[in-house]
């Protein structure tokens, strides 16, 4: 222990060995903030008997500052040096009552001539500036200009199907391969009517709003839940004949000794009698149907979004073969460095959210009937 007697007005500072080592490290370390280094120097010099005015002169600061950090150290020890003391801040110019009125109006009223509030209309209604409205909305995470769409499945077997699909994701069967299968139909080969301008500093790239249609193709894809690779093929249509062709492709490109569990939607093609007949002759194939209106359960939809955003939406294709070549190129590059999509939400957690959503909708419906 290090004990130093200070002047009559200064309280004695006692440093233990651990505190001494930490403060020494702060004063010598170049990776620490300058303010922390200065505070450590103040305490270290005070612990050696240097007076406050001498510490201030040597470190280029003021005597009250030295006294402040001595008192902070005596009160909070090392933690008092690492963080600044809380400050009261500026007194808000907008009273809490007015903020509450803005929040209440945003949540429970609408302007007479619109479906939702804007910063301009709310500012005029409340007699405050648009900047203030924007700040209040940001503080309370209010976004009246945005809406999110939703769809609750009415499938009578929703719970059973949900447990089945989530079980395949989180606890797949042994000696089996889980594949998310679907079709992205009617992908258009669009060509722009005029060449766009390339991106440059201060200006984004341009693309004409109008376009020329050059035909369509359908992308069949099977996303592996083990390694993230995708088996894909482009076909002109998406009937049961094309689906059987794609099943044959999956059969040829997967290890023979594994069962194949395919997660598919309820599109009629997947339930066609000829598809069922083909599946009966290939017993290693097992189809698992997601609930109706629940495409979010099929992770291949996530991969479809990626290829749409990265390769298709902003592409220019003069013909269907050009479009197919671009899709195959993206598919090949993806499989060279695949990304595994991991499902993390248990079935019970999903069901809990759905129950809360239904309760909220029921309460809202009740209030409308009551009014």
Residue 183 lies in a domain: yes
Residue 362 lies in a domain: no
Residue 371 lies in a domain: no
pLDDT in tens, 14-51: 777 778 788 778 887 777 777 788 788 888 888 777 78
Strand partners, 371: none
> Comparing 73 with 240, which gets the higher pLDDT?
240
Q: Are 336 and 330 in contact (CB under 8 A)?
A: no
Q: How far apart are CA 60 and CA 50, in angstroms?
A: 15
Q: Which long-range contacts (CB under 8 A, 24 or more apart) does 1-9 make?
A: 2/47, 4/46, 4/47, 4/48, 4/49, 5/49, 6/46, 6/49, 6/51, 7/51, 7/52
pLDDT in tens, 269-296: 999 999 999 999 999 999 999 999 999 9
Same domain, 178 and 212: yes
> Comparing 77 with 325, which gets the higher pLDDT?
325
- 54 has a pLDDT exceeding 90: no
Q: Are 312 and 187 in contact (CB under 8 A)?
A: yes
Q: How many domains in the chain?
A: 3
Q: Which string of DSSP letters, residue by residue, matches 230-271?
A: EEEEEES--SHHHHHHHHHHHHHHS-TTSEEEEEE---GGGG
Closest CA to 224 of 299, 283, 309, 287: 299
Q: Which domain holds residue 333?
A: 158-197+207-347
Same domain, 77 and 101: no
pLDDT in tens, 129-172: 999 999 999 999 999 999 988 888 889 999 999 999 999 999 99
| Confidence category of residue 9, pLDDT binned at 50, 70, 90 | low
| Mean of pLDDT values over 104-113 | 92
Q: What is the pLDDT of residue 128?
A: 93
Q: What is the pLDDT of residue 6?
A: 42
Q: What is the pLDDT of residue 11?
A: 73
| Confidence category of residue 3, pLDDT binned at 50, 70, 90 | very low
pLDDT in tens, 209-260: 999 999 999 999 999 999 999 999 999 999 999 999 999 999 999 999 899 9
Q: How far apart are CA 320 and CA 237, in angstroms?
A: 13
Same domain, 226 and 337: yes
Mean pLDDT (the chain) is 88
- 301 has a pLDDT exceeding 80: yes
| Confidence category of residue 62, pLDDT binned at 50, 70, 90 | confident
| Mean of pLDDT values over 77-81 | 77
| Confidence category of residue 368, pLDDT binned at 50, 70, 90 | low
Residue 149 lies in a domain: no
- Least confident window among 179-193, 259-273, 354-368: 354-368
> Comparing 251 with 5, which gets the higher pLDDT?
251
What's CA 278's distance to the chain center, in Å? 41
Same domain, 56 and 109: no
| Mean of pLDDT values over 348-353 | 92
pLDDT in tens, 304-350: 999 999 999 999 999 999 999 999 999 999 999 999 999 999 999 99
- 8 has a pLDDT exceeding 60: no
Same domain, 125 and 55: no
Closest CA to 169 of 41, 339, 297: 297
Token pair of 70 as six digits: 């001595």
Same domain, 296 and 163: yes
Q: What is the pLDDT of residue 4?
A: 41
Q: What is the pLDDT of residue 369?
A: 67
Residue 53 lies in a domain: yes
Same domain, 132 and 270: no
Residue 308 lies in a domain: yes
Q: How far apart are CA 191 and CA 195, in angstroms?
A: 9
Residue 356 lies in a domain: no
Same domain, 279 and 324: yes
| Mean of pLDDT values over 172-179 | 94
Report CA-CA distances (Å) from 99 to 91, 112, 252, 321.
Answer: 14, 21, 65, 59
| Confidence category of residue 10, pLDDT binned at 50, 70, 90 | low
Query: For position 241, which CATH number holds?
Result: 3.30.420.10
Same domain, 294 and 342: yes
Q: Are 270 and 286 in contact (CB under 8 A)?
A: no
Residue 12 lies in a domain: yes
Query: For position 60, which CATH number holds?
Result: 1.10.10
Q: Which string of DSSP letters, residue by residue, matches 277-299?
A: HHHHT-TTEEEEEPPTT-GGG-T
């Amino acid at each position: 222990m290090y004990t130093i007697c200070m002047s009559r007005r200064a309280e004695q500072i006692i440093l233990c060995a651990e505190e001494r080592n930490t403060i020494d490290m702060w004063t010598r370390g170049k990776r620490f903030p300058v303010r922390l280094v200065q505070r450590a120097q103040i305490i270290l010099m005070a612990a050696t008997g240097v007076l406050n005015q001498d510490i201030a002169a040597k470190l280029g600061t003021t005597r009250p500052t030295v006294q402040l950090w001595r008192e902070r150290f005596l009160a909070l020890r090392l933690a008092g040096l690492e963080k600044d003391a809380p400050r009261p801040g500026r007194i808000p110019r907008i009273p809490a009552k007015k903020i509450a009125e803005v929040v209440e109006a945003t949540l429970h009223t609408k302007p007479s001539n619109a479906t939702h509030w804007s910063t301009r209309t709310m500012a005029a209604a409340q007699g405050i500036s648009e900047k203030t409205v924007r700040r209040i909305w940001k503080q309370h995470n209010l976004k009246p200009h945005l809406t999110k769409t939703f769809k609750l499945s009415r499938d009578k077997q929703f719970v059973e199907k949900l447990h089945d699909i989530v079980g395949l994701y989180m606890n797949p069967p042994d000696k089996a391969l889980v594949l998310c299968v679907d079709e992205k139909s009617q992908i258009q080969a669009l060509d722009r009517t005029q060449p766009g301008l390339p991106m440059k500093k201060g200006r984004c790239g341009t693309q004409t709003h109008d376009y020329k249609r050059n035909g369509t193709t359908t992308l069949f894809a099977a996303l592996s839940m083990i390694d993230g690779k995708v088996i894909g093929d482009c076909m002109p249509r998406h009937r049961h004949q094309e689906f059987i062709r794609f099943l044959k492709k999956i059969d040829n490109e997967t290890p023979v000794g594994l069962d194949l569990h395919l997660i598919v939607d309820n599109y009629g093609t997947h339930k066609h009698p000829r598809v069922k007949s083909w599946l009966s002759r290939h017993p290693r194939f097992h189809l698992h149907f997601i609930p109706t209106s629940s495409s979010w359960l099929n992770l291949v939809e996530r991969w479809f979004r990626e290829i749409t955003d990265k390769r298709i939406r902003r592409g220019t294709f003069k013909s269907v073969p050009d479009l197919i070549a671009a899709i195959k190129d993206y598919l090949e590059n993806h499989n060279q460095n695949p990304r595994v999509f991991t499902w993390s939400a248990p079935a019970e957690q999903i069901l809990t959210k759905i129950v809360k959503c239904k309760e909220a909708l029921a309460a809202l419906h009740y209030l409308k009937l009551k009014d």
